[in-house]
Amino acid sequence: MEHCCEGMEMSVLAEQFYVSRSYMYKIFKLCTGYTPYQYLMLERIRQSKRLLLMEELTIAEIACRTGFNHSPHFIRSFKEATGMTPGEYKLMMKSGR
């Protein structure tokens, strides 16, 4: 959770726990219900929602702070997860709906 906005390699993480990469994936999915990638994306989206509400940052700045290398990827991922773009989400939340 602390490092979800940083680039992570599952093979490096698996090494830290002395397990294979495939076993790490299997255990992770068993414990969380998500693949590591799905979980990472959900956490990044959760953090981006908080930033959209709490700070006056641009979409590009939020994308960068939450580990997305490119704004279009962030916007596409956010819309896939929430059904709306980050801008639409920000407007909706500011209007109190």
Does residue 51 lie within any of the structural domains? yes
| CATH number, position 50 | 1.10.10.60
Return the C-alpha torsion angle 29, 46, 66, 55, nearest 10: -170
What is the tens place of the pLDDT at every residue in 69-88?
889 999 999 999 999 999 99
Does residue 4 lie within any of the structural domains? no
Does residue 22 lie within any of the structural domains? yes
CA 81 to chain centre: 10
What is the tens place of the pLDDT at every residue in 5-23?
556 677 777 888 888 989 9
Domain that holds residue 18: 10-95
Quote the pTM value: 0.79
> Structurally, how many domains does the chain consist of?
1
Does residue 73 lie within any of the structural domains? yes
Min mean pLDDT across 10-14, 36-40, 60-64 is at 10-14
